[in-house]
Amino acid sequence: LSVKLGSRLSLFIYDFLLFGAFVLTGLYIIIGLYPIQAAITFILLPKAFVAHKSVKNFHRLSIPNTNKIHLYYFIIQSIVLIIWS
């Protein structure tokens, strides 16, 4: 799909999906859907910027970096929501 869309649009979609999760987490905390402890997921933001840079520069570690962010985000969010919800 990214070949058909081109690199610019593919990177935009990647950023939208990756950083959109952090934006929604912040929004959900503000409006009270998530407990304040969910803010701990923001510790993954530096790793997200590293993943963005590696995807943008077509590094071979881009997929493992992205997978780690998704995994860690899921684990952190799951633990927070199970314990504090």
3-state secondary structure of 17: helix
Beta-carbon neighbour count of residue 24 at 10 Å?
12
Mean pLDDT of each 10-residue bin along the chain, 85 residues long: 83 95 97 96 96 91 93 97 91
Helix and strand numbers (H, E) in the chain are: 4, 0
Beta-carbon neighbour count of residue 40 at 10 Å?
13
| 12/75 Cα distance (integer angstroms) | 25
3-state secondary structure of 23: helix
**What's the whole-model pTM score?**
0.87
| 80/9 Cα distance (integer angstroms) | 33
Residue-level pLDDT at 82 = 96
